[in-house]
Amino acid sequence: MIPIANPRAQYFSHKAEIDQAIHRVLDRGWYILGDEVCAFEAEFAAYIGVKFAIGVGSGTEALHLALRACKIGPGDEVITVSHTAVATVAAIELCGATPVLADIEADHYTLDPKKLPQLITSRTKAIVPVHLYGQSSDMAPIQEIARQYGLRVIEDCAQAHGAIYKGKRVGSLSHMGCFSFYPTKNLGAIGDGGMVVTDNSELAEKAKLLREYGWTERYISYCAGWNTRLDEVQAAILRVKLKHLDDDNSKRVHLAKVYNRELSSTSLILPKQREKETHVYHLYVIRSQRRDELRSFLKEKGIGTSIHYPMPVHLQPAYSRIKGRNNLSETDRMRKEILSLPMYPELKESEIMTVISAIKEFNRKGV
Q: What is the rounded CA–CA span in Å between residue 206 and residue 186?
A: 28
pLDDT at 292: 97
Q: How many domains does the chain have?
A: 2
Query: 203 and 74, same structural domain?
Result: yes
pLDDT at 289: 94
pLDDT at 326: 67
Query: 267 and 197, same structural domain?
Result: no
Residue 321 has pLDDT above 90, yes or no: no
Query: 307 and 210, same structural domain?
Result: no
Q: What is the chain's mean pLDDT, rounded? A: 96
Q: Cis peptide before 31, with omega less than 30 degrees from 0?
A: no
- The answer as to whether 1 is a domain residue is no
Summarised one tens digit per residue, pLDDT across range 9-60 is 999 999 999 999 999 999 999 999 999 999 999 999 999 999 999 999 999 9
Summarised one tens digit per residue, pLDDT across range 118-147 is 999 999 999 999 999 999 999 999 999 999
Cα–Cα distance list, 57 to 64, 118, 167, 297 (Å): 11, 35, 29, 38
Residue 325 has pLDDT above 70, yes or no: no
Residue 367 has pLDDT above 60, yes or no: no
Please answer whether residues 226 and 56 qualify as being in contact, where contact means their C-beta atoms are separated by less than 8 angstroms.
no
Query: 221 and 263, same structural domain?
Result: no
Query: 331 and 253, same structural domain?
Result: yes
Domain that holds residue 32: 7-102+109-239
Q: Is the pTM of this model over 0.85?
A: yes
- The answer as to whether 229 is a domain residue is yes
pLDDT at 327: 86
The average pLDDT across 179-208 equals: 98
The average pLDDT across 284-301 equals: 97
pLDDT band at residue 216 under the 50/70/90 scheme: confident
Residue 262 has pLDDT above 80, yes or no: yes
